[in-house]
Structure 1
């Protein structure tokens, strides 16, 4: 220690750190005490003083610390106490307040104990130190001496080893208060004054030496605490450098190291992300103060308005447990990613091990709940600390403990770091019987960041798991079977898709309190708003999830599910299903429900088919997206788990019930993959009609070559056993099909589905007496089935709804591809019946055919226009005739 100290040299530096709020808002708050008896807090609002009763209310711990710490005096020192016209009145009021408090709480024996909380006591001494300087010429010597005595009692308490909180920022405030008081209070006897000073300096050096990691990150797990503590490091350096104290060099070196994390942890908007107990605010004041003597920090804190742009865009700190990326330092809407595999101390620790935060386009995308407060009994505080408020893993529905003695079990390994991205792996074994490893890889393609996460979960036993994604409060999610899209003001900003090697379920939550809290965001302490959260659930002893996060070149094609005018809805009865319901447009149509299943599209493109055709008929319609995996699931299974199938069946049943319809009123439809699904679900639901085009019957054999990804998703592997198992599901469905169900199949003769799929199914159905009608079109390949099938579907639906025949017959009426001006009609003629027809152009009959049993008619060299056919179905034995009319068909 320095033998001789000139306290006068340090006073100006200390005075700069004492409370000095001087703006008009602070004065207005201070004036309300004399005017209304109200203590005003920017955070807690109006607090009635009521002759000191305010101190007895400890229902909100943070608020109680505010009033017992005399922190409200911060608004007084440089406003009302510095104004000669009113200073005396406020000085007397300050003495009254201090005496009133001391009457009950001075000895610390009266509840609430928050009166002598470690940091609260320190804040009170800081305020008393400032008051002593302000009140010296405003109150009597007796009052001044009394106030000095209260400050001395407080300082002696803070100097005692029994009361000191070593190792955290509360102890730091205790020692700062002791340092400020020892420098500023000349009335302290010299030996005790030196004792206060030396005690504070030794403790502060010890704390600052141990409270930062080797990489210069404050250990209390929160960026704003890192900045706050660094600010006080700067303050201590400023004080000690006035007397060239031997510790000055240590503090300079510490600040240089701390600047890097403080700079990179700032988001593009100049705020810190809502990590742990961070209270978000713009850090422009810190930029002006230049706490670190770093122009790069000034640049980040000012949002690029001041200082110098940092040279690097990534920062990986394996010892501290953080990896940070940004796409640009110049753009407030730049992409910012923050990965935390940190457990550096118990203080301000949340259960956030391996949480990943993402902001882009000026919007929080993958966010965190933030901090609600320090009242640990409040359910929202408990939630804020829990794993459910962060983007990480939960085992068996039980959050990680906030703290334990296992900080060494959460680690971060750096594998690759560049200026445009990194690859790091975080691991925690703090979970129950489980290790969770998360690899985060960020790389730029053409300047656009692509983010890939790999989560590996390994347990010794069987468990249930929840992977949580908390979303920003300003985004609108569209959830799919294995991922989601995020929109802001109708513009898509991000999508996330994951591949898992186990069955999973994904669900959306917002503002829930039961069965447990989920889907909340805390923009500031004590304020809660509902925000969307995604939960992915799975089970087992091991799982791997590979997640793609894209901010452009999206995985999911935007099909307008976020368009509120389209009325897309999502059921969450078990497996969630995205579906669109369209009400019937006619009385006849209201007696039928058509459920349409979609074909295979490109990966990530999940949509519906044949809506225009269905709309023309006007029946009730239900369109269900098969948005599971990357190309669908045949509405059947996820790695062998048939929950998808069960969810579809429940949705169909609920829709029939809602419409007051029976299973016999159900029609299922689709082509190709959609045809397979229509047979599966129509048979299971007891549909009256199943109308399909070119179904894949041997699904496993079909998928093995062109779509092994779908095969593996449905069954869990691509083995021969899996292929055979999947090949049998449609045969089983037809075997179980009700005798009252009519299955109508349209297929092209040139389509490989005809011989490899449809004929085997027809033979199987015939041996079991099932009602399967087959319409085969000569020369039609599979690639052209859609254009023909839509007419086939429309015409069959019209027969069902119009009731023109007692028993409808399948038919198609279409233009002939490659033959301009040609039309073809093909009717599936029942045994013992024959067909004749008349071709109309407007109201004029332009051609006729005689009765024949093949049901085929073709016309060539027709001029452009609209045509339709009047069809006569005649029983060859009884001469009974049942006519029907086709829709119009246009020749361009």
Structure 2
């Protein structure tokens, strides 16, 4: 576009924006005066779901960097749609305007006028391209999360621009963009109450209602947002505080946003605030001894110790700060019968630096919806003696969608990457597989929580759950003696008369080396306290241990999106004729 074309486009956009504001019953000069005097919102809050570490100079000179992707030339960008077409997450984070955060911080600095003008120019260019554009032109522009997270950044830009008389025309354009962003947030397609995205739509509306009271739709927007927030709090977090999407990292992320909304007084409902308090307590149990969030469901190995230093729960704060703040917990067992998790941390750390030495066990027995759900019923993760032993496969990332006609859709897969499909599979988790098939997800009615009795008996912890599958029932007892052993007691009742085969899959950390294979499989890892040996015995026919097998994929985990690292995959196959009861034992020595 030439300079003359750019000027013409801006004049046309200004005229259209002015006309639309007047159509809405707004007198433009009065609106600008109200925007100029409105309080400025903070530049961080519920909408900063990840920290942008680039400087403002780097964003504009080198391009905005997201994950492993090439830098995006924000300063000269005209084709926004290409990034979402290449990768949905890339497009979502781009259209959420996350790149604006360091630019806005620079605009608030003492010499920020130049930065503000750069920010305003990018925002106006985006509005020019996307005003009136439909979903087909760039679906990620109007993706529910994109518009929810973009709205508070657009508000921050418009209110700052309004304070500069020479940016009057740009402010008119941005003000009208705010008005139609509120329109978009009202749409049914913008609010999905079935997953965590609905929270961001709802809180975006409440946020907008607070700072845009000069717009005639602000009161209705805030009221609808408050109603939606109440619905989301009750549907996203169980009464015991567990996030109902099978992913501790999404629990962490959504809880953080809820906590920030509470701190910003965007949530006043006491019942909601109490539920968030319980969710903060649950988060502490999801912190592993290595300082990362438990990798069940769609969870990368997010480091939180030393990164996130606050929580509204004092026990969780104690863990997040590795004992520097908060209060140590005394209970070593926590079971959440509605959420479907049970945890052991023994001994509980009571002083700085002790977290890493705790024995830790996580047991999942939940299926609330398809959201982030892997084929992993009755999965366990285990740390002991300062080392991870049983691992989870992680999430690998999302990427390209499967063709809608792919038969893999019937198995519950949405994404095309074989690595993504592997980390979702049953064999990538520490649980039971029957007849070589993944546990069913697609077309299966969610059962909620499957936890039964979870008790502590002296130094031993005994956790139980029962899951009904389409043609068999699986009961599992997890008997854990910290520092000594883990026993998995599986009882299966088949509703079919023919002979079948079960496999107990185990995935051990890749830092172990295979020492011997006999009656037991012995693996050893070097630790700062000397060698750690794990002896594994199981039922029936032993499957050959492998680490990082390529064809077919077996023995892998993903700590961060887009990458795999080897783990040990062990399997024990046993015959199943109506009923079977088997024991798998892991001893430390």
- What TM-score do you get using the length of structure 2 for normalisation? 0.81
Indicate the residue corresponding to 1:508 in structure 2.
Answer: 545
1:801-840 equivalences in 2 (<5 Å): none
2:242 to 198, 213, 217: 217
Distance 1:265 1:473 in 2: 22
2:556 to 496, 516, 520: 520
Q: How far did residue 343 of structure 1 move? A: 1.4
1:266 to 274, 277, 287: 287
1:729-878 equivalences in 2 (<5 Å): none
Indicate the residue corresponding to 2:409 in structure 1.
Answer: none
Contact 1:485 1:496 in 2 (8 A): yes
Indicate the residue corresponding to 1:174 in structure 2.
Answer: 201
CA 20–232 in structure 1, closer or farther in 2 if over 3 Å, else same: closer
Q: How far did residue 95 of structure 1 move? A: 2.5
1:333-482 equivalences in 2 (<5 Å): 333-375=357-399, 376-408=415-447, 411-418=450-457, 420-430=459-469, 433-443=471-481, 448-459=483-494, 460=496, 461-478=498-515, 480-482=517-519
Indicate yes or no: 2:181 matched with 1:154: yes
Indicate the residue corresponding to 1:485 in structure 2.
Answer: 522
Q: How far did residue 233 of structure 1 move? A: 2.8
Distance 1:424 1:475 in 2: 27
Indicate yes or no: 2:244 matched with 1:232: no
Indicate yes or no: 2:167 matched with 1:143: no
2:297 to 255, 276, 290: 276
CA 410–279 in structure 1, closer or farther in 2 if over 3 Å, else same: same
CA 166–498 in structure 1, closer or farther in 2 if over 3 Å, else same: same
CA 405–499 in structure 1, closer or farther in 2 if over 3 Å, else same: closer
Indicate the residue corresponding to 1:543 in structure 2.
Answer: 580
Larger Rg: 1
**Runs of 5+ consecutive residues of structure 1 not aligned to the other structure:** 1-6, 553-892
Indicate the residue corresponding to 1:324 in structure 2.
Answer: 343
Distance 1:43 1:421 in 2: 44
1:72-83 equivalences in 2 (<5 Å): 72-78=99-105, 80-83=106-109
1:43-82 equivalences in 2 (<5 Å): 44=69, 46-49=71-74, 51-57=77-83, 58-78=85-105, 80-82=106-108
1:257 to 269, 278, 298: 278
Q: Which structure is higher in strand share?
A: 1
CA 134–21 in structure 1, closer or farther in 2 if over 3 Å, else same: farther
Q: Deviations over 1:485-539 (max 9, x none)?
A: 2322375424243342xx3122222333423x22211111222223222222334
Contact 2:249 2:295 in 1 (8 A): no
Q: How far did residue 412 of structure 1 move? A: 1.4
1:622-633 equivalences in 2 (<5 Å): none
CA 508–371 in structure 1, closer or farther in 2 if over 3 Å, else same: same
Distance 1:508 1:393 in 2: 17
Q: How far did residue 287 of structure 1 move? A: 5.2
Q: How far did residue 315 of structure 1 move? A: 0.8
CA 422–397 in structure 1, closer or farther in 2 if over 3 Å, else same: same
Q: How far did residue 104 of structure 1 move? A: 4.7
Contact 2:512 2:523 in 1 (8 A): yes
CA 465–94 in structure 1, closer or farther in 2 if over 3 Å, else same: farther
Indicate the residue corresponding to 1:295 in structure 2.
Answer: 314
Contact 1:32 1:40 in 2 (8 A): no
Q: How far did residue 419 of structure 1 move? A: 7.0
Distance 2:390 2:50 in 1: 39
Count of paired positions: 526
Contact 1:13 1:238 in 2 (8 A): no
**Runs of 5+ consecutive residues of structure 2 not aligned to the other structure:** 1-34, 400-414
Contact 1:483 1:496 in 2 (8 A): yes
Q: Secondary structure at the match of 1:26?
A: coil
Distance 1:101 1:474 in 2: 51
Q: Deviations over 1:628-662 (max 9, x none)?
A: xxxxxxxxxxxxxxxxxxxxxxxxxxxxxxxxxxx
Contact 2:143 2:190 in 1 (8 A): no
2:231 to 186, 202, 206: 206
| Structure with the larger RCO, 1 or 2 (CA within 8 Å, 6+ apart) | 2
Q: How far did residue 350 of structure 1 move? A: 1.5
Q: How far did residue 198 of structure 1 move? A: 0.4
Contact 1:104 1:110 in 2 (8 A): no
Contact 1:486 1:492 in 2 (8 A): no
Distance 1:20 1:60 in 2: 21
CA 112–393 in structure 1, closer or farther in 2 if over 3 Å, else same: farther
Q: Secondary structure at the match of 1:71?
A: coil
Distance 2:439 2:507 in 1: 17
Contact 1:27 1:76 in 2 (8 A): no
Indicate the residue corresponding to 2:31 in structure 1.
Answer: none
Distance 2:484 2:121 in 1: 60
Q: Secondary structure at the match of 1:146?
A: helix
Contact 1:314 1:421 in 2 (8 A): no
Q: How far did residue 297 of structure 1 move? A: 1.2
CA 35–259 in structure 1, closer or farther in 2 if over 3 Å, else same: closer
1:103-122 equivalences in 2 (<5 Å): 103-104=129-130, 106-122=132-148
Q: How far did residue 383 of structure 1 move? A: 1.7
Contact 1:314 1:323 in 2 (8 A): yes
Distance 1:144 1:154 in 2: 15
Indicate the residue corresponding to 2:565 in structure 1.
Answer: 529
RMSD of aligned alpha carbons: 3.0
Indicate the residue corresponding to 1:817 in structure 2.
Answer: none
Q: Deviations over 1:518-566 (max 9, x none)?
A: 22111112222232222223343243321222223xxxxxxxxxxxxxx
Q: How far did residue 302 of structure 1 move? A: 1.4
Q: How far did residue 398 of structure 1 move? A: 2.1
Distance 2:348 2:335 in 1: 17
CA 477–95 in structure 1, closer or farther in 2 if over 3 Å, else same: farther
Distance 2:499 2:487 in 1: 27
Q: Deviations over 1:416-456 (max 9, x none)?
A: 335744212222222x5232221111235xxx443221112
Indicate the residue corresponding to 2:53 in structure 1.
Answer: 26
Q: How far did residue 27 of structure 1 move? A: 4.9
Contact 1:316 1:323 in 2 (8 A): yes
Contact 1:509 1:532 in 2 (8 A): yes
